[in-house]
Amino acid sequence: MVASEATPFAKSGGLADVVGALSAELLKLGHEVAIVMPRYRRIAWEQTESAFDNMVVYAGSTPYRVDIRKAVHNGVTYFFVEAPYFFDRNGLYDDGGREYGDNHRRFAVLSLAALGVAQTVFPCDILHCHDWQAAMVPIYKADQQHGNPVFDRVRTMLTIHNLGYQGRYGKECFWDLGLNGGWFSPDKLEFHGDLDVLKGGLTMADWLTTVSPTYAREIQTAEGGFGLDPVLRLRSDTLTGILNGVDYEEWDPSTDKLIPANYSPSDLAGKRVCKQQLLGEFGLPADNPDRPLIGIVSRFASQKGFDLIAGLAPFLEESDVQLVVLGSGEWRYEQLFNAWQRQFPEKVGVWIGYNNALSHKIEAGCDLFLMPSLYEPCGLNQIYSLKYGTVPVVRATGGLDDTIQDDTGFKFSWYSTGALYDCLRAALGACRNRDAWKARMIRGMKKDFSWAVSAGEYSRLYEMLLGRD
């Protein structure tokens, strides 16, 4: 696996969960798995040990000297690329919202070092690359390793976790990659005069996957393709949608140590305790246990549907509901929620920032979970919500459409505040029938999205790529 983040070492979103959990699950199926990722500042050097010192990789004629460190977690070996000039920084991709100007070079070095790891300490059959940050692996493999017997039988897979992030930069950045000028063409790394790293990977990898069947279809359309739909349509025979699993060792209300009381489908009493405490933690009145509590845990990015949520002030005004929000990101959305907190102090609680423990408490303590995304490759929070008996209200897009059904949650299609409003009203109406609501919660809690199934599908693709099926 080659990725820019993986649990438990560095995480900014679902990508890290997938890389960490899928690797551990593949191990159970009998594969040998290693992850290559950067050693960011937040990963303590002392946690790692030397795997290969003084590896020199070349982007064209430019040499980069890196060390490879390693650590083992859940049986999976993590190889960390030690390159302080690129990775010893506070952020993974940016410093407080401003993207680092050398990301194309940082992740080129990650990809080159991954090939170095495969050449030296971890020979492999499959190089499974994730998102644009690892999309240069198949490119450098073709550019530099042609004729190298070590890589002769190695196959590459590229998984798209979010097509909205492509590593698209000005043409001048292309020259930093040290590739022959022939790579800068519309059927490879060029996108309308710019460098598009992901596009290069999508044209070069042996197989493509994305994280839900519906998203696999959506990215082949003009609406969901972010300009790359023609490339993806050309590759539709070698593109598979595999739904992400979730890690129920972390996310199960019957064992979760981060929530104040455990509960299960057969005994839901603990969920009331969780709700009571959550309201207290947000300083909201907890006088009526039947008043619906809506939760949001999210990156504050427009992809997540905040433009629709921004129109919900009248809904909050007229409804006897409460809302708790955890997230961070775009300033305008932080402002929106802070303003609501001032406007509706009894109804709205806000926590700006990243807080894993609080995200578990919100999943456990709420009645409804709101996720009206504009697009959603897979989405994890709605799957956690099902498990925690917190009924999801989602827009029917990508993985949200694949994981939420009408008997477990509430969905709307048209991307408008009006449609979201109607959907929320329907959910609140259904909430009043306590028995039917409880049955709906329990149906969701019993759904199984564990990794075993998805890992099996990846495993079958690997075997197929190696001609072993």
- Please tell me whether residue 327 binds ligand ADP under the rule CB under 6 A: yes
Handedness of CA 231, 236, 239, 243 (dihedral sign): positive
* Alpha helices, DSSP H, located in 88-237: 103-119, 136-144, 171-176, 197-204, 213-218, 229-234
* Residue 193 vs residues 22, 127, 268, 279, 386: alpha-carbon distances, Å: 36, 29, 57, 52, 44
Main-chain phi, psi angles of 322, to 5 degrees:
-130, 155
Binding to ligand ADP by CB under 6 A, coded x per residue (else -) over 277-306, reads --------------------xxx-------
**For ligand ADP, which is the closer residue by CB, 11 or 275?**
11
Main-chain phi, psi angles of 210, to 5 degrees:
-140, 175
Minimum CB–partner distance for residue 245 and ligand ADP (Å): 12
Q: Cβ(29)–Cβ(455) under 8 Å?
A: yes
Handedness of CA 128, 132, 133, 138 (dihedral sign): positive
Minimum CB–partner distance for residue 298 and ligand ADP (Å): 5
Q: Cβ(401)–Cβ(333) under 8 Å?
A: no
Minimum CB–partner distance for residue 423 and ligand ADP (Å): 19
**DSSP state for residue 281 in the 8-state scheme:** H
Q: Choose among 55, 182, 158: nearest CA to 109.
A: 55
**For ligand ADP, which is the closer residue by CB, 111 or 381?**
381
- Please tell me whether residue 17 binds ligand ADP under the rule CB under 6 A: yes
Minimum CB–partner distance for residue 380 and ligand ADP (Å): 4
Candidates 10, 14, 64, 114; binder of ligand ADP (CB under 6 A) is: 14
Q: Choose among 186, 220, 218, 216: nearest CA to 203.
A: 186
Minimum CB–partner distance for residue 112 and ligand ADP (Å): 26
User: Which residue has tokens 């001032």?
Assistant: 342
Which two three-digit tokens encode residue 345? 């102090």
Minimum CB–partner distance for residue 287 and ligand ADP (Å): 28
Minimum CB–partner distance for residue 398 and ligand ADP (Å): 10
**For ligand ADP, which is the closer residue by CB, 297 or 428?**
297
**For ligand ADP, which is the closer residue by CB, 97 or 418?**
97
Minimum CB–partner distance for residue 220 and ligand ADP (Å): 20
Minimum CB–partner distance for residue 370 and ligand ADP (Å): 13
Judge if the upstream peptide bond of residue 8 is cis by omega within 30 degrees of 0: yes
Q: Choose among 214, 213, 223, 219: nearest CA to 233.
A: 219
The count of residues interacting with ligand ADP (CB under 6 A) is 17
* Alpha helices, DSSP H, located in 120-165: 136-144
**For ligand ADP, which is the closer residue by CB, 243 or 428?**
243
**For ligand ADP, which is the closer residue by CB, 113 or 386?**
386
Q: Which stretch binds ligand ADP (CB under 6 A): 22-30, 189-197, 308-316, 324-332?
A: 324-332
Q: Report 351-390 residues binding ligand ADP (CB under 6 A).
A: 354-356, 359, 378-381
Local structure of 24: helix, strand or coil = helix
Q: Cβ(321)–Cβ(291) under 8 Å?
A: yes
**For ligand ADP, which is the closer residue by CB, 11 or 105?**
11
Q: Cβ(209)–Cβ(157) under 8 Å?
A: yes
Minimum CB–partner distance for residue 179 and ligand ADP (Å): 29
**For ligand ADP, which is the closer residue by CB, 312 or 326?**
326
Q: Which residues pair with 73 in a beta bridge?
A: 76
**For ligand ADP, which is the closer residue by CB, 375 or 462?**
375
Which two three-digit tokens encode residue 23? 């690797």
Candidates 119, 238, 276, 328; binder of ligand ADP (CB under 6 A) is: 328
Residue nearest to ligand ADP (CB): 14
**For ligand ADP, which is the closer residue by CB, 138 or 379?**
379
Binding to ligand ADP by CB under 6 A, coded x per residue (else -) over 248-267, reads --------------------
- Please tell me whether residue 326 binds ligand ADP under the rule CB under 6 A: yes
Distance CA 357, CA 71 (A): 25
Q: Which residues bind ligand ADP (CB under 6 A)?
A: 13-14, 17, 297-299, 326-328, 354-356, 359, 378-381
